[in-house]
Amino acid sequence: MAKAKISFDEAIEKIKATPAGKEASMYGPIRDLFIHVLDYPAADVDIDTSGEGGRPDVTVRAPAGYRDPSGKNVKIDWIVVEAKDEHNCFLDAGQRETIFGKKSKYVGTHTAWFVMIEPTCLVLRYVGGGDLSAAADIVIVLAGLTEAEFQAKTVALKAESAGVSQQLEQFRNGDSSIIAVEKLWSKDAASKRQVEQARLSRKRFFRQIQESTIHLQAAVSGALARLEEEIDEYAGMANAFWGEFGKADDGFDEHSLILRGRPEGPDNARKHDREAARLKRVFAKAPHVARLALTGLPQFQSRTGVDDAKLHELFSIETANLILARVLLLRFFEDHGFFGAMRYVCNGGVAAFQEMKMYFKESYANLLEYAYHRGSRLYASAFEATELDWIFGSGDDALSSAIELTLFRFSRYDFKTVKGDILTGIYDRFMNRDQRKKLGEFYTPPSIARYMVKRMGVSRYSKVFDPACGSGTFLIESYRAMIGNDLERGAAEYTDILSAFSRIAGNDLNTFSAVLSQIQLLWQILALKDDIEQCGFPDLLVTAKVNSLVEGDHWTALDRFAEIDVQEYDAVIGNPPYVRAERSAQALDERSQQEFERSRNEFPGVSSKLNAYALFLYRALDRWAKLAKSI
């Protein structure tokens, strides 16, 4: 049904004639301007409707550039409008700043324009990055205003230019003007305007992390669900093979895609080899599916202890969160100049990738794979191949789009302006409480970790270990107590940082948690680019996929955990899982159970049946903490 055309002049006259105390009477004419002059669908323009930060007088929505899980196009709050019935209040730059300071809470994650309207003027303020000040405002006086003049001055607000889709196209085409435009921190001496702008950008940054996490998790979950039939088929083939020939200790080589059994006799061995060769050819058609079915998912389940019903959900969560954490680290590398003039997950890496994507039908997962490779040259541990990297083999379109949108979302922030305090507690933004509970992970507020580190007396020369480090909250607070705070005061050198990091150790069962621990520690020092390039990145002692409670005599020189599993620590600190060991991911093997039971001879209260938290406490006292000096 066609929209009924209204008179531009009539709408403007109604706004100009607004009497004091009748602000609400302006909302209808304002809405009409957006619908009938700027061409927005009526359904996308709302009056006095709740948004991210409250209830703006008028909200104008535009396409987000992606669909929700049900396939519906997502809309975002593109323009928010603040109306006043006070004549001339927005003509005065000082009053404008005061009002904006109070009403900027309405600016959402994706809001591009904050529009201020009163009976004498209309003011357009771009809040999507760049100069956020009265000097950059577009002021349109209503007296004598013609529709042609209005159209010319509001062209950037037109529906045809609105939404993420338009900006995303600029991003794909290599428009560098939209890169690193939002600053997340201002110096103490910065103007009030700059401080306010940084505050707004930080709010948007944190919301982007939350939105990107949700969107990525949904896309990864969908991609994994679309592989379930193949995963089950490949797992069935392998199980049938092992059912006939037995299963060797190294039952599947994920590199060669060869299955190994325990054949008996020459005839059975020949049959075994023929079947293994046949299945290798089958697996080679989709090696990422074979690796998922035979190593990735089974090992993840074994390590985390999740049941079959939750396996794919939590595997998807970990996969998505690892993507996001690594993208943030790559953006740090790019903006700090560690790649020189090159960019890989920003412009022009994305622009250069477009031709390959179009011609070869590549997925953005392939761009990530290359970017990870380049990032590993700077700091290998954060980009080591894990079972969560199955996405490289996936050509899933929805996942590719979600990755592209994630790269786009974080391209606009200047990561040189990200300071350590901005990132405090960032893990809580990756994963909500219910998700962490399913994984047996419990978030410790940085303030609590800081208090515990202080009470432990951690100082510059302490040696610290967190055996269930999660995302690294205790490691970060230990670093800050040891050297980070001194560095901020100018009382430490880079060599002191390297020394401190050599005495901070952590481990976690989950790949994502351990990688995020390393990334968050690296975030603390990336501003020291010259020192890092001269001396190299610190070699962080943070390991993954190891159960700290399992007896470690079998660790080899190749196991990094062997460097950690020693009785040398001044402080063993953290927040281990509080759950019965046999019901958790910290389940003990038979040998470790026997070792804890033997300890009862000396410590009657010790048992392998204790809560995992108690076992961590016992192991800390018995195996990791330094022996008390004799008096």
Domain stop point among 358, 384, 418? 418
Same domain, 586 and 628: yes
pLDDT digits 0-9 by tens, 226-252: 999 999 999 999 999 999 999 998 999
Q: Over range 420-442, report the average pLDDT.
A: 61
Residue 542: its H or E element: strand 541-544
Using the predicted structure, report yes or no on whether residue 53 has a pLDDT greater than 60.
yes
433 domain residue, yes or no: no
* Burial (0-12, 13-18, 19+ Cβ within 10 Å), 111: buried
Using the predicted structure, report yes or no on whether residue 435 has a pLDDT greater than 70.
no
Scan for tokens 């108690």, then name that residue.
614
Residue 457: pLDDT band with limits 50, 70, 90: very high
Using the predicted structure, report yes or no on whether residue 586 has a pLDDT greater than 60.
no
432 domain residue, yes or no: no
pLDDT above 90: percentage of residues in the chain: 51
Domain stop point among 108, 134, 162? 162
The token duo for 130 is: 């760049």
The token duo for 134 is: 């009265």
169 domain residue, yes or no: no
pLDDT digits 0-9 by tens, 317-362: 889 989 998 999 999 999 999 999 999 999 878 988 888 888 888 8
CA nearest 566: which of 555, 579, 578, 582? 555
Using the predicted structure, report yes or no on whether residue 2 has a pLDDT greater than 50.
no
Map residue 507 onto helix, strand or coil.
Answer: strand
Same domain, 138 and 221: no
User: Residue 569 has what DSSP assignment?
Assistant: B
Same domain, 406 and 301: yes
Same domain, 238 and 120: no
Radius of gyration of the chain from Cα atoms?
A: 29
Check which CATH number belongs to the domain holding 70 and give it. Answer: 3.90.1570
Check which CATH number belongs to the domain holding 487 and give it. Answer: 3.40.50
**Long-range contact pairs involving 13-18 (C-beta distance under 8 Å, separation at least 24):** 15/117, 15/119, 15/142, 16/119, 16/120, 16/142, 16/143, 17/119, 18/85, 18/119
Return the pLDDT at 5: 59
User: How far is the C-alpha of 567 from the C-alpha of 569, rounded, in Å?
Assistant: 6
171 domain residue, yes or no: no
φ and ψ of 379, to 5 deg: -145, 100
The amino acid sitting at 200 is L
Scan for tokens 């338009």, then name that residue.
166
Select the highest-mean-pLDDT range: 164-173, 281-290, 595-604. 281-290
Q: Note the pTM of the prediction, 2 decimals.
A: 0.83
Between 44-48, 295-299, 422-426, the lowest mean confidence (pLDDT) is in: 422-426
Return the pLDDT at 35: 95
Residue 596: pLDDT band with limits 50, 70, 90: low
425 domain residue, yes or no: no
Using the predicted structure, report yes or no on whether residue 290 has a pLDDT greater than 50.
yes
Instruction: End-to-end CA distance of the chain: give it in Å, rounded.
Output: 91
pLDDT above 70: percentage of residues in the chain: 87
Could you check whether the bond before residue 506 is cis, i.e. omega within 30 degrees of 0? no
Q: Which residue has the higher pLDDT, 353 or 436?
A: 353
Could you check whether the bond before residue 348 is cis, i.e. omega within 30 degrees of 0? yes
Using the predicted structure, report yes or no on whether residue 168 has a pLDDT greater than 90.
no
| Residue-number span of the structural domain to which 80 is assigned | 8-162
Q: How many domains does the chain have?
A: 3
Map residue 182 onto helix, strand or coil.
Answer: strand
User: How far is the C-alpha of 533 from the C-alpha of 537, rounded, in Å?
Assistant: 8
User: Residue 557 has what DSSP assignment?
Assistant: T
φ and ψ of 63, to 5 deg: -65, 135
pLDDT digits 0-9 by tens, 513-545: 888 889 889 988 988 999 999 999 999 999 988
Map residue 98 onto helix, strand or coil.
Answer: helix
Same domain, 226 and 136: no
* Burial (0-12, 13-18, 19+ Cβ within 10 Å), 207: middle
Return the pLDDT at 538: 94
Return the pLDDT at 630: 43
Same domain, 110 and 145: yes
* Burial (0-12, 13-18, 19+ Cβ within 10 Å), 538: buried
Residue 13: its H or E element: helix 8-16
User: How far is the C-alpha of 485 from the C-alpha of 382, rounded, in Å?
Assistant: 25
Return the pLDDT at 631: 39
Q: Which residue has the higher pLDDT, 149 or 593?
A: 149
User: How far is the C-alpha of 345 from the C-alpha of 121, rounded, in Å?
Assistant: 42
Between 158-172, 365-379, 397-411, 435-449, the lowest mean confidence (pLDDT) is in: 435-449
Residue 118: pLDDT band with limits 50, 70, 90: very high
Return the pLDDT at 7: 84
CA nearest 342: which of 212, 176, 537? 176
Same domain, 590 and 447: yes
Return the pLDDT at 431: 58
User: How far is the C-alpha of 577 from the C-alpha of 167, rounded, in Å?
Assistant: 44
Return the pLDDT at 347: 81
Mean pLDDT of the chain: 86
Residues 6+ apart with CB under 8 A from 404: 168, 350, 364
Q: Over range 188-197, report the average pLDDT.
A: 70
Beta-sheet pairing, 258-259 with 252-253: antiparallel
Contact by Cβ (8 Å): 480, 454 = no
User: Residue 620 has what DSSP assignment?
Assistant: I
Same domain, 485 and 615: yes
Return the pLDDT at 360: 82
319 domain residue, yes or no: yes
Same domain, 344 and 493: no
Between 198-207, 488-497, 520-529, the lowest mean confidence (pLDDT) is in: 198-207
Same domain, 454 and 599: yes
167 domain residue, yes or no: no
Q: Which residue has the higher pLDDT, 430 or 128?
A: 128
| Dihedral sign for Cα atoms in the order 232, 233, 237, 238 | negative
User: How far is the C-alpha of 34 from the C-alpha of 625, rounded, in Å?
Assistant: 67
Domain stop point among 132, 162, 192? 162
Return the pLDDT at 177: 85
The token duo for 133 is: 């000040």
* Burial (0-12, 13-18, 19+ Cβ within 10 Å), 138: middle
Residue 141: its H or E element: strand 138-141
266 domain residue, yes or no: yes
Same domain, 317 and 232: yes
Same domain, 407 and 524: no
